[in-house]
Amino acid sequence: MQRFFSSKAAKPVNKLGDVPKVIKKIKSKDSSPPPNGNPWSPPWLKWKEIKSESRKSQEAKEPAASEAKEEPVTNLAFTLDSDKVELTPVEADTPQVPPLANGVDRALFNPGVQFLKDPRTNVYNFTPKIEEIMSIRDFDFTCVPKYVPSGSDNALSSLAQTRAKTFTGSTSSLTPLLVKIHMALSNNRPPQTMNLSKFFPNKTTTFSSSQRGPVSFFLKYHPETKTYSVGADDSDSDDIILTLLGQTMEKMLVTDADTFALFDKRKSHAVPPELKEDTNAYHYSECGNFVMRSQLDCYDSRLPGTGMFDLKTRAVCAVRYDIDYAQIHDGSHYQLLKRDGFYESYAREFYELIRTTMFKYSLQARIGRMDGIFIAYHNISTLFGFEYLPLSEIDKIFHTSHLVTKYTKKSEDLDEQMQNVASYIAENEFKLSMDLLSKLFKYILKRVSSDQAREALNMVLHCPDNGELIVFVKPMLTKDIGAAPETVVQDENYKMGQDPATVLQHWSGGRDFVPPDILAYKISLTSYVSGKPVPKSAPPKISPGDAWTVRVGIDELEGEDLKKAYEDAMSKHCSQIVTSTPLTERYEDEEELRRVALSKLPSPSALQQTLRKLNEKGQRYKMWDQARDKIWNGES
- Rounded distance, CA 307 to CA 360, Å? 20
pLDDT at 24: 32
- Per the domain annotation, does 403 fall within a domain? no
pLDDT at position 50 over 80? no
- Per the domain annotation, does 611 fall within a domain? yes
Three-state secondary structure of 353-364: HHHCCHHHHHHH
pLDDT at 48: 29
Confidence (pTM): 0.85
Average pLDDT of every residue of the chain: 85
Start-to-end CA span in the chain (Å): 41
pLDDT at position 2 over 70? no
- Per the domain annotation, does 259 fall within a domain? no
CB 381 within 8 A of CB 169: no
Domain that holds residue 636: 604-636
Domain total of the chain:
1
pLDDT digits (tens, 9 = 90+) for 574-594: 877 788 888 888 888 888 999
- Per the domain annotation, does 122 fall within a domain? no
pLDDT at 403: 81
**Parallel, antiparallel, or unpaired: how do β-strands 308-315 and 372-378 relate?**
parallel
Instruction: Compute how many other C-beta atoms are within 10 angstroms of the C-beta atom of residue 340.
Output: 13
- Per the domain annotation, does 622 fall within a domain? yes
DSSP code string of 149-194: -GGG-HHHHHHHHHTT--EEEEHHHHHHHHHHHHHHHTTSPPPB-T
Cα 382 to Cα 116, 129, 132, 247, 336, distances in angstroms: 10, 11, 5, 15, 10
- Rounded distance, CA 128 to CA 122, Å? 11
pLDDT at 339: 95
pLDDT at 351: 96
- Per the domain annotation, does 619 fall within a domain? yes
pLDDT at 234: 82
Higher pLDDT, 198 or 317: 317
Beta bridge partners of 383: 378
Residue 112's Cβ-count burial label (10 Å; 0-12, 13-18, 19+) is: exposed
pLDDT digits (tens, 9 = 90+) for 101-141: 999 999 999 999 999 999 999 999 999 999 999 999 999 99
Return the amino acid letter for 621: Y
pLDDT at 53: 37
pLDDT digits (tens, 9 = 90+) for 264-289: 999 999 998 888 877 899 999 999 99
- Per the domain annotation, does 596 fall within a domain? no
pLDDT digits (tens, 9 = 90+) for 249-267: 999 999 999 999 999 999 9
pLDDT at position 378 over 60? yes
- Per the domain annotation, does 99 fall within a domain? no
CB 617 within 8 A of CB 41: no
